[in-house]
Structure 1
């Protein structure tokens, strides 16, 4: 686990940043700062914006879950091992995508399916 302590710290920082972003997105969707506009056309634009924010929120929630799983793998001593084939994930891949749970070969196969 000591080998990946720096990665764990980076993942925790990413998690904190995503939590902040999710909080802002949630506030925007709930219109915490200002109520819905009375103009129907403005409401339509706000509804479209809410859909985009909702999609961004869903993406952030997915990333949060992947980060939490990566932290669990670090704690369990299985970080950096492909969940599919059991081979080590290249350090270059983990540097780019620190919550990767598959080697590039298995990830490419999964995407093709």
Structure 2
């Protein structure tokens, strides 16, 4: 079994940063709309963009949590498709990878 402590640390740091960023976005989305109708249109457009960013963040958060679970269970670094080891270089480039480069192609 390979030691993935460095990957765990990086994933945990990234997770904390994403959770903090998502919380800021959600706080902004909870703000009431401006009384001015023209400002409301701008606020709604901004909110729509923020919701898209929040969705992307939430997806990455979920992927990181799954990667951390794989580290805990001892399956991190093993291709979910073919069962071969995922290269260290691939994991460094994409620590949430679940498939080796051959299966991901």
Tell me, yes or no, if structure 1 residue 14 matches structure 2 residue 11. no
Q: TM-score, normalised by structure 2?
A: 0.92
Q: What's the offset of the Cα at 1:23? A: 0.3
Q: How many residues align?
A: 105
Q: What's the offset of the Cα at 1:28? A: 0.7
Which runs of 5 or more residues in structure 1 are unaligned? 109-113
Q: What's the offset of the Cα at 1:2? A: 6.3
Deviation readout 1:18-39 (Å, 9 max, x if unpaired): 11001000001111xxx42112
Instruction: Please list, as runs of the form range in 1=range in 2, the aligned pairs for 1:31-110 lying within 5 A after superposition.
Output: 31=31, 35-108=32-105
Which runs of 5 or more residues in structure 2 are unaligned? none
Q: What's the offset of the Cα at 1:14? A: 0.8
Kindly report structure 1 stretches of 4+ aligned residues shifted beyond 4 Å.
none
Q: CA RMSD in A?
A: 1.4
Q: Identify the residue that residue 3 of structure 2 maps to in structure 1.
A: 3
